Amino acid sequence: MKFTRRDFIKNSFLLGSSALFPPIPVSLAEKKEIKWIAAYEKLEMEGKLAQRVKQAYTLFENCQLCPRKCGVNRQKGEKGFCRSPIKPMIFSYHPHFGEELSLVGGKGSGTIFFSNCNLRCIFCQNWPISHDGKGKEIQDEDLADVMLRLQSMGCHNINFVTPTHVMPNILNATRIALKKGLHIPLVYNTSGYERLEIVKMLDGIIDIYLPDLKYMDADKAAKYSAGASDYPEVTKKAIIEMHRQVGVLKLDHQGIAIRGLMIRHLVMPNRAAGTEKFVKWVAETLSKNTYVNIMAQYRVEYKAYDYPEIARGITAQEFLEAMDWAEKYGLTNLDPQSVAVKNIYYHRRSN
């Protein structure tokens, strides 16, 4: 059979890269850095971020930003349950080295503490900021400058602590900062008391969600968080949506978080947080590979002294029981620091 030049070219294309351009060895391909782009930057490139900021700002007129749904007009200076004005109030900002290791890295998590709160738990460790509203009112432009300052200090992310009631300001500031060079991931560090509709508005803006899931029972939520009996139900819906948007936690080649969901759960005395129900829900509803931080640092703070069942720290046994439940239900991505605490407690118990 005659083999023409045309046949040669055709067969070469059919053989494709395997013959003419052998595949890059996996090790080399892995080493090649892929440019990571923050979610909000992609949304801006699609021309959608400005519209999202506008849409968010209209929520101030009849404030429905959180499940409290106060309906006050914050544009006109009215204040709702959170007592927050229309301008953002911040207490402090700095590189934070006490957060989860994958957020902290070598240079810290660029944390911004907002004043006021829409949940107001009676055991809050930041009560002067969240209950008493200590802090300073600033403009969205100032907030953008704070974000850029944290980035220039080398922080790996911008970590908004208690962002719910200032979400429109955050969106506006993000767009302003983006135009001036912001490029690191945004961390939405929330109590979890979020409306599903509001979390949907954050789709394509937030790269890392860091919600609490504090209680699994309505009566506990109502008792310890200013009547928020709907907390377990609305928070579970919000977290499912966060998981849909960003998936399980992804790290870069240096182990720094770049995208995904990280859930915090504080173990409380006398099983007040419903930890067994919590880990079961995560394992059965989200993914067993969901990053979960089961925290041992409950302290009696603020008004918790008035509630005898939570007026003490947790015991080692209570923490070990919580970690055992996490293992029993098959969670595979537990915070390394909580695993270390578990190992210390086990070691002490067996000596």
Structure-derived torsion over alpha carbons of residues 193, 196, 202, 208, reported in degrees to the nearest 10: 60
Structure-derived torsion over alpha carbons of residues 199, 55, 112, 157, reported in degrees to the nearest 10: 70
Residue 146: which of 209, 207, 92, 208 has the closest Cα? 92
Provide the minimum distance between the beta carbon of 183 and ligand SF4 in the complex, in angstroms, as a whole number.
29
| Stretch of residues binding ligand SF4 (CB under 6 A), selected from 79-87, 100-108, 173-181, 309-317 | 79-87
Nearer to ligand SF4, 82 or 150 (CB): 82
Nearer to ligand SF4, 70 or 294 (CB): 70
The reply to whether 68 sits near ligand SF4 by the rule CB under 6 A is yes
Nearer to ligand SF4, 12 or 75 (CB): 75
The reply to whether 160 sits near ligand SF4 by the rule CB under 6 A is no
Phi/psi of residue 24, nearest 5 degrees: -70, 130
The reply to whether 63 sits near ligand SF4 by the rule CB under 6 A is yes
Helix (H), strand (E) at residue 112:
strand 109-114
Q: Quick one: which of 39, 80, 147, 184 contacts ligand SF4 (CB under 6 A)? A: 80
Provide the minimum distance between the beta carbon of 160 and ligand SF4 in the complex, in angstroms, as a whole number.
14
Q: Give me the 115-154 binding string for ligand SF4, x by CB under 6 A, dash otherwise.
A: ---x------------------------------------
* Count of residues in contact with ligand SF4, rule CB under 6 A: 14
Helix (H), strand (E) at residue 261:
strand 257-266
The reply to whether 84 sits near ligand SF4 by the rule CB under 6 A is yes
| Stretch of residues binding ligand SF4 (CB under 6 A), selected from 59-67, 174-182, 240-248, 298-306 | 59-67
Q: Quick one: which of 43, 53, 82, 158 contacts ligand SF4 (CB under 6 A)? A: 82
Q: Give me the 163-192 binding string for ligand SF4, x by CB under 6 A, dash otherwise.
A: --x---------------------------
The reply to whether 69 sits near ligand SF4 by the rule CB under 6 A is yes
Q: Quick one: which of 39, 53, 56, 72 contacts ligand SF4 (CB under 6 A)? A: 72
The reply to whether 88 sits near ligand SF4 by the rule CB under 6 A is no
| Stretch of residues binding ligand SF4 (CB under 6 A), selected from 2-10, 69-77, 104-112, 300-308 | 69-77
- All residues at 6 or more sequence positions from 322 whose CB lies less than 8 Å from its CB, including other chains: 267, 275, 279, 294
Measured distance CA(321)–CA(275) in Å, rounded = 9
Chain residue at closest Cβ approach to ligand SF4: 80
> What's the N-to-C CA distance of the chain in angstroms?
83
| Stretch of residues binding ligand SF4 (CB under 6 A), selected from 11-19, 57-65, 168-176, 242-250 | 57-65
Provide the minimum distance between the beta carbon of 222 and ligand SF4 in the complex, in angstroms, as a whole number.
16
Angle between helices 316-328 and 275-285 (to 10 degrees): 20
Provide the minimum distance between the beta carbon of 63 and ligand SF4 in the complex, in angstroms, as a whole number.
3
Residue 126: which of 151, 96, 157, 169 has the closest Cα? 96
DSSP H stretches of helix in the chain: 5-15, 26-31, 39-45, 49-58, 101-104, 127-130, 140-152, 167-179, 196-201, 218-224, 231-246, 275-285, 316-328, 336-349
Phi/psi of residue 113, nearest 5 degrees: -95, 115
Sign of CA dihedral 32, 38, 41, 46: positive
Residue 291: which of 232, 253, 331 has the closest Cα? 331
Nearer to ligand SF4, 96 or 120 (CB): 120
Q: Which residue has the tokens 């509001």?
A: 198
The reply to whether 112 sits near ligand SF4 by the rule CB under 6 A is no
* Contact footprint for ligand SF4 (CB under 6 A): 63-66, 68-70, 72, 80-82, 84, 118, 165
